[in-house]
Amino acid sequence: MPEMVTLGETMVLLTPKATGPLRYVTQFDRTMAGAESNVAIGLARLGHSTGWVSRLGNDEFGQYVLSFIRGEGVDTSRVIVDADAPTAVFFKERREEGENKVFYYRKGSAASRLQPEDLDEAYMKSARVLHVTGITPALSENCKATLVRAMAIAREAGVAVSLDPNIRLKLWSAAAARETLLSLISGVDLFLPGQEEAELLLGPGTPEEHAEKFLALGVKQVVLKLGPEGSMVASTNGVQRVPGFRVKRVVDAIGAGDGFAAGYLAGWLRGWAPVECARIANACGALATQVTGDIEGLPSMEEVRRFMDGSQGVTR
């Protein structure tokens, strides 16, 4: 059984070959992406067994997603193929300067029909950690109920729960995100927000102040992503900032947070101290920004070690 189980929607991603507004783009590259499956793939590349739970349409895109994720070494045995709903798609808009934009076409998708009854309790209870994100409860009420049930199953079995808020304001309002996510974090073992997400949930403050408030709300360990500055880990044992890794140029920042989560979970599963977990997470996040695409830049453990050591390895 997998060490880490996750659940959520994965979509087909169409990335334009040219930069600029999508209205002028005529050619696209097809890949796939979803925050939860990104983490599952990233963690598998780092040497851990992972499983992904979801629904996909009984269509060509669904078959592509299922085949790709399975091919990355992720267990997909609990994925349901839904004959009555499609696999979702989304488009990325690339710019020469500034962040890329994304446009979703996911309403009524197969994954939005995920139900609590779809969960295999024995499968989930066998894992060491359940990783979930704030995207899933934003998709539909039944998806929210499924995530709540998954977290309850994990807690009943003593399985650790990792939660990345991954707030997507194109899916729900800031108020709805705040209300739902704050209701979920009590008792969460690992909470991995970005600084902007922390401000959306708690209001203005320093990373240290936000961490203190999250701990007061019942989080066991806060792992705050600080972008180029690195990250910060906080628990009842104290607070410590962990410097990030500088890169010459960010090619594509989308997916860096998922790489970070995969790196942190890899260290956590190995029993490393929080600071060491954060160091590898910072490295994975930095490496993910060097390649276009959500999963293409997720590294192996060997690549992470070379990057952290500053060595290039044999290239030819």
Residue 144 near residue 113, CB atoms below 8 Å: no
| Residue 170 one-letter amino acid | K
Which ranges in the chain belong to alpha helices (H)?
35-45, 60-71, 121-125, 136-139, 141-157, 174-184, 195-202, 207-216, 256-269, 274-288, 301-309
The answer to whether residue 258 is catalytic is yes
Which burial class, exposed, middle or buried, applies to 204 when counting CB atoms under 10 A from its CB (0-12, 13-18, 19+)? exposed
* Helix 301-309 vs helix 274-288: crossing angle, to nearest 10: 100
| Residue corresponding to tokens 């590259």 | 29
Three-state DSSP at 266 gives helix
238 Cα distance to chain centroid: 25
Residue 236 near residue 215, CB atoms below 8 Å: yes
Given 82, 164, 252, 258, which residue is catalytic? 258
| Residue corresponding to tokens 């704050």 | 182
CA distance 33 to 188: 25
CA distance 121 to 81: 19
Query: What b-and-e string marks burial along 208-233, b requiring 16 or more CB atoms within 10 Å of the CB?
Result: eebbbbbbebebbbbbbbbeeebbbb
- List residues with catalytic annotation: 258
